[in-house]
Structure 1
């Protein structure tokens, strides 16, 4: 637990939080003060509601806090172990969670009113996963330079093959022309 608290205090003292707290002062904070700090961290990740965000960020309480109703009650009352656990988890993944919170706004399925036709563009748009496709391409390991380099290499190879083919055809044409010339002697 002391490693966890040390990690939390170190990150709370850095940008963007700049809390200027020490291990002892952080440990002695009142429940409402802890909730304020938790709210500040969640606000930095860009969220409006703690419970919704925790579900969206896929936070799973530690094994000893697995009962959802008691976990919520402990969270609302500012229980130190619950707040410390959440803060530790959030601060370890803050960059990843900011991205997830940002994307969540765009990846939520929109309910289309019944008076609008449900086919065509609306259905197509609903089933498209542009973000996932983009992330897969980014993580595929190919850079544009590699891809264009491979394409250029393939095109140069095709060019060489075509030049050889043209040369062979020219040779055949010359041979055919030579064979058909009348012999004047």
Structure 2
């Protein structure tokens, strides 16, 4: 099968391709797909870390390009950047959706936080590290449970402030304040 040579991004007319899509010319969409499909798949794969899901995301991105090409405004950015932002946003939404599906009720969340603390205490492989860092465990124990959970979710589980707020059912500003105050309390305790 003969493959069309890929044009360099600088020689491909992205604005014309989007204008063609907005006018309903399928050839424009095909050319855009041939030009950027593989690179967009790479972007999606790096974000979602799943080839099948990345392929679905690129498919959905090109559907959005086809249906929304008329809304592209060159005053707000480049046509190529617009196509990439659609793909990137779909991939990030997929990751967020996956995380949100993993969230359960408050009891499960509290159990996870307790398990994270217990795992930190009990892991034999970390015993040497814990011996040297036993003060942090002592200082963590001195924090209120909600604040300790915020710190553990942020620094053990790697959750964002927004994810912690959703998980704990607490306002975002409160979570941010708890984390800030807890970090200050930990610094004072360790000093």
TM-score (norm 2): 0.25
Which one scores higher on RCO, CA 8 angstroms, separation ≥ 6? 1
Query: Which one has a larger percent helix, Structure 1 or Structure 2?
Result: 2
Task: Please identify the structure whose Cα radius of gyration is greater.
Answer: 1
